[in-house]
Structure formats: C-alpha cells, structure tokens
Amino acid sequence: MIIRKVEYIISAVKPEQYPPGVSMELAVAGRSNVGKSSLINKFLNRKNMARVGQTPGKTQAINFFHINDEWYLVDLPGYGYAKVSLEVKARWGRMMQTYFQKRGNLLGVIQLVDIRHKPTEDDKTMVKMLRDRGIPMLLVATKADKLSRSRQIVQLKIIAETLGVEDWKQIIPFSAVDGTGNRELHEEVDQLLQN
C-alpha cells in the first residue's frame, strides 16, 4: 500500500469521541517504550505523526489516524510501565475493554514486543485478551537492529514459545532505524485489509 494521506483524527479517552466505526480499522498495541510510535511513523513514512519518546505510561488515550481516506490506524495506549498507579492501570484496562467491545470494525491488532526481551506478563495478558475475543493478531518484534540475525532468531523462538505462537517465522522482526520488516509489515497489513 502506498500511504498517500495520513490524517490525525482524535486522541480519544471515551467512546463518544471515537470516529464512526464505518471504516476498516487496525490497532497497534504494546508496552510503553516498545517502539510503538517509532514503528507507526516508519510504517506511515511520516516523521512525527506519532510522538516518539514520550514519558512512558503518560499517554492514556487512543489515537485515531485516518489513512488514505480508507481505514483507521489506531495507536492504543502503552501498558506495563512500572511507575503508574493501580488507578491508572485500572483505567487502562477499562479503556481497552471498552475499545474492543465497541469496535466491530476492528480487523486486527498489530501486537508489538521488544525483540531483546522475553514477553512480560502484561504482554501475555494482552495476547490472551485478543485470542479470547477472536481478534486476528500480527506479532511484530521491535528494535531488531539491536541484535545480530542469529540472536534475533534465538529471541524470536523464545517470544513464540512464551506467547504460544506455533511458528516463530510468523513473527516479523522490525526496525524503525534501518527499516527491517517494514515491507513485510505492509504486506501483512494489506492482507488484513483485503479480508
């Protein structure tokens, strides 16, 4: 897909603020600092569409972008930042439940994990939530440039096993720095949008 137009719509904290759920939609999820903003910018070929390096855990809103006047890309708030209060964590949980309940137009979630680390309990909870709801998931391992190809494979196998993914080759290694995986991600997104 050629990204012709990217329009920031809204940073929503409640469902009344969501744009009408009439277009196809894909959401991006991951823990704070996983590289979500960097991936979105790289994917969209825009420098500052999503803000990189924000205070982790600060963004507690759901950001909607309209792409090519055709579909929504949704930046979900990052999770798993140790320093946030229980109240903030609970609010995050409610926000996610509401989002997944309300968006019948959601075609899938691009779930991010850091290629260097074993997925956290929060990552596992997120993946389980998607599976329980029958939401198709595209798993992406970020910051691939930080590891050699052989280390990447070791880590992809650990990630696959931890998250119950049958084949580690289904996970896309991605780098916002050198562009690794961007083409594959585009192809997978095209597939999801065509179904």
Whole-angstrom distance, CA of residue 77 vs CA of residue 57: 8
Whole-angstrom distance, CA of residue 155 vs CA of residue 52: 24
**Binding residues for ligand GDP restricted to 156-195, rule: CB under 6 A:** 175-177
Q: Are 76 and 29 in contact (CB under 8 A)?
A: yes
Q: What is the DSSP letter of 31?
A: B
Minimum CB separation of residue 120 from ligand GDP in Å reads 13
Q: Which amino acid is at 17?
A: Q
Residues forming beta bridges with residue 141, ordered by sequence position: 113, 173
Pairing mode of beta strands 71-75, 24-29? parallel
32 sits near ligand GDP (criterion: CB under 6 A): yes
36 sits near ligand GDP (criterion: CB under 6 A): yes
34 sits near ligand GDP (criterion: CB under 6 A): yes
Calculate Rg over the CA atoms of the chain. Answer: 16
Q: How many residues bind ligand GDP (CB under 6 A)?
A: 19
Pick from 111, 142, 152, 155 the residue near ligand GDP by CB under 6 A. Answer: 142
Measured in degrees and rounded to the nearest 5, phi and psi for residue 44 equal: -85, -5
Give the nearer residue to ligand GDP in terms of CB position, either 138 or 176. 176
Residues 53-82, mask of contacts with ligand GDP (x by CB under 6 A)? x--x---------------------x----
Give the nearer residue to ligand GDP in terms of CB position, either 80 or 108. 80
Three-class HEC string of 51-115: CCCCCCCCCCCEEEEEECCCEEEEECCCECCCCCCHHHHHHHHHHHHHHHHHCCCEEEEEEEEEC
Give the nearer residue to ligand GDP in terms of CB position, either 53 or 134. 53
83 sits near ligand GDP (criterion: CB under 6 A): no
Give the nearer residue to ligand GDP in terms of CB position, either 53 or 104. 53
Minimum CB separation of residue 142 from ligand GDP in Å reads 6
Give the nearer residue to ligand GDP in terms of CB position, either 13 or 177. 177
Interface ranges with ligand GDP (CB under 6 A) = 30, 32-38, 52-53, 56, 78, 142-143, 145-146, 175-177
